[in-house]
Amino acid sequence: MSHRPTALGLAFATLILALATFHPTVARAESGLGWHGGFMLEPDQVVLGAQASFPIGEKMLYFVPQADFGFFNGTSFNVHADMQARLGGDDNGIRPFVGVGGTWFGFDPEDGDSDNTFGVNVVAGLWTQKTTGKKSFAEVMFFLDEDLPDFRLVIGRMF
């Protein structure tokens, strides 16, 4: 296994921590539980899942654990544990975010042996919080290990 994904993940985590420490925008606490759905490539699957969001301190860092179930083209169960930095937003409550985390990917192909893989992921997306209190997001996750999927794209809603 190459050390490049780990070094890239550590560099990305350092960037996120620096942004969270020195960014002038103070974030509102956006915590809760929610669902998401989307697709993943390699293996090509539809994914459905749940996640939580826990603020760390008063600024913009969040711990975001997630779990996905993938189906079609085999089945998978995936667990992600990410640190996200939610950056400043606009008047409509739209805020970009970036993050890095770890992934456990369990895959059972239609023809072959099942496989379990651990690796690093990077994530980016948009978070919205309307004045009604409804929180939605769109997220793309890239995996930095060749034994993990290429990427995952999901949309979801937090409660």
> Is a pLDDT exceeding 90 seen at residue 73?
no
pLDDT, residue 68, reads: 92
Which pLDDT score is estimated for 133? 65
Q: Does residue 9 surpass a pLDDT of 90?
A: no
Average pLDDT, the chain: 79
In the predicted model, what is the mean pLDDT of residues 11-15? 54
Tell which wins on pLDDT, 54 or 27: 54
- pLDDT(64) > 90: yes
Residue 93 has pLDDT above 60, yes or no: yes
> Can you give the pLDDT at residue 67?
94
For 95-105, the pLDDT digits (tens) are: 899 999 999 98
Task: Give the residue among 112, 116, 96, 94 at the shortest CA–CA distance from 104.
Answer: 116
CATH number at residue 148: 2.40.160.20
Q: Which domain holds residue 78?
A: 4-158
- How many domains, the chain? 1
